[in-house]
Amino acid sequence: MKKGLFISIEGPDGSGKSTQIAALKEYFEQKGMDVVLTREPGGTAISEKIREIILDKNNQEMDDMTEALLYAAARAQHVAQIIKPALMAGRTVICDRFIDSSIAYQGYGRQLGDCVRIINEYAVRGCMPDITFLLKMDPKIGKSRIRDEEQDRLELEKLEFHQRVYEGYVEMEKAFNRIVGIDAARSIQEISADIIAQIEAVLQEDGRNRNDL
């Protein structure tokens, strides 16, 4: 049985995930909790190699299903090698993107539909986040925050793609209690105070002092 808290952070490109993840890590560390910070696609040597293939701007010919399967493959390795062992050891895992990114980007963005969820159920084998923060920001604003030359293969997709991704996220937020929408069009401090308040509530509800784990 997993003992640690598993948190994932989601949102459109340019929604400020990295800044919020750093603030959350600091919050847990100040509480003396053992935190593992990781990301997708990536987090292991094998998954980082898959990341390079997926995001390479030169791989324009990549088939959408290949893309979905590569994200799922990177995730399967990440869960098996990093996330599951850390949770079993009672550590807190903060993951920059997880399964919801695939459902939003490949399911809605690429319009592959529900097969993306099914593929990923095999990849994660029941290892799902306890709470997911969705940083909500107009994808147009998010995209404009990343310089053209810094955009990877996915970020370079046209605005309509990113709008479908965002619609997917909003639908998932409505469907799953696990996903907490956060208004990301505010100051960095306001956003992180909001996230931390939600985490405090989860820790209290949990009925366990996770410092003891």
Burial of 7 (0-12, 13-18, 19+ CB in 10 A): buried
Side-by-side strand order, sheet with 131-136:
35-39, 92-96, 6-10, 131-136, 179-183
Part of the chain binding ligand TMP (CB under 6 A), chosen from 35-43, 129-137, 190-198, 201-209: 35-43
d(CA 83, CA 99): 13
Find the residue with minimal CB distance to ligand TMP.
Answer: 105
Minimum Å gap between C-beta 177 and ligand TMP is 21
Minimum Å gap between C-beta 43 and ligand TMP is 10
- How many CB atoms lie under 10 A from the CB of residue 57? 11
Instruction: Pick the closer one to ligand TMP by CB: 33 or 72.
Output: 72
Is 71 a binder of ligand TMP (CB under 6 A)? yes
Pairing of strands 6-10, 92-96: parallel
Stretch 93-132 residues interacting with ligand TMP (CB under 6 A):
97, 101-102, 105-106
d(CA 46, CA 51): 9
Instruction: Pick the closer one to ligand TMP by CB: 33 or 184.
Output: 184
**Residue of 7, 13, 24, 70 interacting with ligand TMP (CB under 6 A):** 13
Chain residues in the site for ligand TMP (CB under 6 A)? 13, 39-41, 55, 71, 97, 101-102, 105-106, 152, 154-155
